[in-house]
Structure 1
Amino acid sequence: MKKLKIKQPLTAVHIVEKEWLNPYNPIVVNLIGAGGTGSQVLTALARMNHALIELNHPGLFVRLFDDDKVERANLGRQLFATAELKQYKAVALINRVNLFFGTNWKALTTRYDKAGLKAQNELAQAGLTISCVDTVQARLEIADILKAVYKRTNGYGRNKPVYYMDFGNSRFSGQVILSTIGKVPQPEMKKYQTVETLPMVTDEFKDLLMASESADKTPSCSLAEALTKQDLFINSALANVGASLLWQLFREGVLFNRGFFLNLKEFRMQPLKVSAPVAKIVPMKPKRTKRKVA
């Protein structure tokens, strides 16, 4: 008897937008949130930009959005000094990065929402948008803005929105998820199954986000109180591993993973694999048979 060969499904991968691997201009990045995670992500982006330029890549141009000011409770867990108290977080961080790395990045002391962007719609146009916010409502609004920008530009033009990366965390755990805004054209490959769409966190995990959101929204009055809500190193751990995913995107041009879940208390990390969309099964309609007339 002949042995039946079982055909194994191809490994799913996402091939990065081809213009990103050898662009003519810096990739525009909108970083939303300059708190515990955002301040760490900004530093990682500055290091990445310096490395990319050394590798003959035009690098990144970052705009940092945050309307909050530095308070004493932010010192220690977030990357701020005593001399920066009462300054806008975005301004303090961008000034420091520009001075240290010689960049010309921009600070915007406004919220990234429909009201804040109403007069300047072009500010929402960025190849990569990174959110480091702490509410589900903020994520939902960011996703709506990105979808609207993609629809308005039809996915074409300079600074067209391509990717959206979301950072989120609770006290000891968190996740980073990379999504596409619309479809990214993929080449045909025999070895892998290419995936053109990576679902947004607000579409794929909306129920989970709503269930995990903390009910306590009162600001902390001290670092000790802040540490009861978020561990000292959860933000930096997420920022570094998330930046490593971005580095892989720029340097290798192919992604097998589109994010991860991290539990810092148990020192456990679970990757989120790129997966092909599940085909919908459409039930077949029963055939109508014609009755024979006697």
Structure 2
Amino acid sequence: MDFYIPQHLLNKPLNVLLIGAGGTGSQIATELFQMDSLLRQISQDSVCINLTIADGDTVSLFNVGRQAFYRQDISSNKAEVLVSRFNNFGGTAWTSIPEYCDPKTIQFKKYDFIITAVDKAEFRVKLGEVFNASQQSSDLLWIDVGNGLSDGQIICGHAYRKTMSTGIRLPNVYDLYSEMLKQVDDNSEDIPSCSTEAALAKQDFGSNRAVAGQATQLIWQLVRHAKISHHGAFVDVANATVQPLKIDPQIWAVYGYEAQL
């Protein structure tokens, strides 16, 4: 089964909100910059990526090498560093939000895609609850990216329960994993890394880049080819495997989600 990008998103600038500018988020931002350059060239500037990056964290020494930052970035805000870099050297006009986002106060209306590359399950739960409680009809697509030591998952789904376009509604990460997410203890998982060795023990080299590539590929397929036949993937860099999450109501039923046609 295929999912087609809504007609009103074709041949126009795409407004993207990226929440989280760490290991995965900084890689996603880099790939979106490359995608923006390609889209501008093949569309005579009619299609591009308008990116907003939100993160309240600052760059530490142990981020250098693992994330897309350099030593001169240390102590600076991650979102501001990335946006300044691309705007100054890449000719973009992207914006930064140098603070942690509260799902209850984010203004989603102007965005076409929201990408969450955050460590906390609680944030995903709160964001999912905000979308589920809304009566708004919207085609906003929510791409969530999560990492383990050497594996990760990417899920692209409709943010809101009600869509504007006809056709199937893609379930998001909250639709498929809400019960599991609610059981995660963020406090036990979110222990600051006191060395590069400790950081690598939590996320090995290459895992962030692997999931970032799968996440941005979904956007590329939708923008460039207007459709996707899978809406996520499960990646394991240690075992060199990528398993697609097919657009299939029978698969979704395994997670307790009933498809909305």
Shared fold per TM-score greater than 0.5: yes
- Asked whether 1:137 is paired with 2:109, we answer no
For residues 27 and 34 of structure 1, what CA distance do their matches in structure 2 show? 19
For residues 131 and 34 of structure 2, what CA distance do their matches in structure 1 show? 26
Which protein is richer in helix relative to its size?
Answer: 2
Structure with higher Rg: it is 1
For residues 235 and 107 of structure 2, what CA distance do their matches in structure 1 show? 34
2:157 corresponds in structure 1 to: 179
Give the counterpart letter for 1:151 in structure 2: Q
Query: What's the TM-score, normalizing by structure 2?
Result: 0.87
- Asked whether 1:236 is paired with 2:214, we answer no
Which segments of 5 or more consecutive residues in structure 2 lack a partner in the other structure? Answer: none
Deviation for aligned residue 1:162 = 1.5
Deviation for aligned residue 1:239 = 0.7
Deviation for aligned residue 1:223 = 1.1
8 Å CA contact retained: 2:150, 2:237? yes
- Asked whether 1:18 is paired with 2:19, we answer no
Q: Return closer, same or farther for 1:239/1:254 CA change in 2, 3 Å cut-off.
A: same
For residues 173 and 208 of structure 1, what CA distance do their matches in structure 2 show? 17
1:31 corresponds in structure 2 to: 18
The secondary structure found in structure 2 opposite 1:260 is: strand
Structure 2 matches for 1:148-167, cutoff 5 A? Answer: 151-152=135-136, 154-155=137-138, 162-167=140-145
Structure 2 matches for 1:47-196, cutoff 5 A? Answer: 47-56=34-43, 57-114=46-103, 117=105, 122=107, 125-147=110-132, 151-152=135-136, 154-155=137-138, 162-181=140-159, 182-183=162-163, 185-186=165-166, 195-196=167-168
Give the counterpart letter for 2:75 in structure 1: K
2:220 corresponds in structure 1 to: 247
8 Å CA contact retained: 1:257, 1:271? yes
8 Å CA contact retained: 1:184, 1:196? no
Q: Deviations over 1:67-117 (max 9, x none)?
A: 0011111111011111111100111111111122100100101112146x3
8 Å CA contact retained: 1:130, 1:164? yes
For residues 210 and 89 of structure 2, what CA distance do their matches in structure 1 show? 23
For residues 198 and 228 of structure 1, what CA distance do their matches in structure 2 show? 34
The secondary structure found in structure 2 opposite 1:68 is: coil
Query: What's the TM-score, normalizing by structure 1?
Result: 0.78
Calculate percent identity across the aligned residue pairs: 30
For residues 147 and 183 of structure 1, what CA distance do their matches in structure 2 show? 12
